[in-house]
Amino acid sequence: MIEEITIQELAAMEPSACQIIDMRDSTAFALGHIDGAVLIPQKELEASHENLPKDKTLVIYCRSGILSADVAEQLREEGYAAVNLVGGYVKWLQEKIRRETKNEKAAEVEQGLRKKFHRVIFSRFAKAIKTYDLIQPNDRIAVCISGGKDSMLMAKLFQEIQRHGKFPFELVFLVMDPGYSAENRQIIESNAKLLQIPITVFETNIFDSVYHVQNNPCYLCARMRRGHLYNKAKELGCNKIALGHHFDDVIETILMSMIYGGQVETMMPKLHSTNFEGMQLIRPLYFVREADILAWQRYNGLSFIRCACRMTAGLAEDTMQSKRQEVKRLIAALRRDNPQVDSNIFRSADNVNLETIRSWHKGDAAYDFLDEY
């Protein structure tokens, strides 16, 4: 019995002769999946097989083809014609990008930003720049690209606004490789080529540095990444770095600071660097909602890797959940009863009444309502 098939062999199969099963989680599936695949997360697939057809070849895939090989073997032992997809979703994505690079995908994406997604994405991008004065004449901005949907979209928006802007400024599309796997590095570079984003790549060993950290390795990794980005951007003559945090990141941060940090804080639209003199951080996707970014991605048939961290590559999807994912689910639950909950959380950071706050601080100075009671 065949145990595995390649991407090319899958493409040659009759669709009616097989069922493609994506065993990743729902978030990864929503961000991109193989055409025709159905979602059955790993735990469900291992727990129950009652609804799986025995008259079709079951093509099982995970992110990289490692976990799915074991699941396919288990299904074969139970009498199913199950095969593992060699290389998993990552390999399929690489092949998809390779084929599309030959087409005029970048022009299609740019046209969509001018028309279909102008109101919900481009206009909100431009609004954040104007509202918070994020770009000034003769700025040289390092647009930081992680390879995900948010930063890739931000890069295309910067290209668009530079092309039609009212004053001159320069862009450097900066990709830091903290120790990506060869496959992830290739996907980032291929997507950049597909979208005609001229990236500058530099390498660090951040993944090696945090690999054995037990407490909050992701937090440490993020801090180290930002430091390296500031340093490289300044080396390249930039005075600003742009990050791809969006509206949903902002409201999630507000709730996370309250629920897990016992404080009231928000993600600011721009910041002065405390360690790199003359440098600023800007967040031009501040008003753009994640649902609209996902709609843009799906409409253009684009696929990005959710987490390019090689430390999580072999982990089951449910071990990769974070506090942010918990807050995301909480907001979604609240939204069912109150559709305005997202906007209300966002506006709360603009409507702070100090007369109803017991104590607060600014820098090293602390204040208490009893001081003037």
130-155: pLDDT as tens digits: 999 999 999 999 999 999 999 999 99
Residue 11 is predicted with a pLDDT of: 87
Residue 145 half-sphere exposure, CB side, CA atoms within 13 Å?
A: 30
Architecture of 104-317 per CATH?
A: 3-Layer(aba) Sandwich (3.40)
Phi, psi (deg, nearest 5) at residue 302: -95, 150
Write the DSSP string, 268-325.
Answer: -SEEE-SSSTT-EEE-TTTT--HHHHHHHHHHTT----S---TTSTTS-GGGG--HHH
Range name among 87-91, 181-185, 195-199, 289-293 with the lowest pLDDT average: 181-185
Report, as an integer, the average pLDDT of 330-354.
96
Residue 102 is predicted with a pLDDT of: 57
**What 8-state DSSP symbol labels residue 119?**
I
Given this chain, do its domains 4-97 and 104-317 carry the same CATH topology? no
Residue 240: helix, strand or coil by DSSP? strand
Q: Are 71 and 53 in contact (CB under 8 A)?
A: no
Work out the pLDDT band at 307, boundaries 50, 70, 90.
low
Phi, psi (deg, nearest 5) at residue 35: -55, 130
The amino acid sitting at 290 is E
Range name among 75-89, 93-107, 164-178, 278-292 with the lowest pLDDT average: 93-107
**What 8-state DSSP symbol labels residue 215?**
S
Write the DSSP string, 20-39.
Answer: EEE-S-HHHHHH---TT-EE
Residue 61: helix, strand or coil by DSSP? strand
Distance of alpha carbon 195 from alpha carbon 198, whole angstroms: 9
Q: Between 182 and 195, name the one with better pLDDT.
A: 195
Question: How, if at all, do strands 280-282 and 240-242 pair?
Answer: parallel
CA-nearest of 229, 170, 232 to 198 is: 170
pLDDT for residue 321 is more than 60? no
Residue 27 is predicted with a pLDDT of: 84
Strand partners, 18: 57
Mean pLDDT of the chain: 90
Q: In the chain, what are the domain boundaries?
A: 4-97, 104-317
Q: Between 363 and 318, name the one with better pLDDT.
A: 363
Does the domain spanning 4-97 belong to CATH 3.40.250.10?
A: yes
pLDDT for residue 315 is more than 50? no
Tokens (6 digits) for 105: 């995908």
Distance of alpha carbon 185 from alpha carbon 189, whole angstroms: 6
Residue 221 is predicted with a pLDDT of: 79
Identify the burial level of 225 via C-beta atoms within 10 angstroms of its C-beta, where 0-12 means exposed, 13-18 middle and 19 or more buried. Answer: middle
Residue 320 is predicted with a pLDDT of: 39
Alpha helices in the chain (DSSP H): 7-12, 26-31, 42-47, 67-77, 88-100, 105-114, 123-131, 149-164, 182-194, 206-210, 217-235, 247-259, 290-299, 323-337, 341-348
Residue 234 is predicted with a pLDDT of: 95
CA-nearest of 78, 66, 56 to 4 is: 66
105-132: pLDDT as tens digits: 899 999 999 999 999 999 999 999 999 9
Q: Are 117 and 149 in contact (CB under 8 A)?
A: no
Distance of alpha carbon 346 from alpha carbon 365, whole angstroms: 26
Q: Are 357 and 263 in contact (CB under 8 A)?
A: no
Residue 317 is predicted with a pLDDT of: 42
pLDDT for residue 312 is more than 60? no
Question: How, if at all, do strands 365-368 and 359-362 pair?
Answer: antiparallel
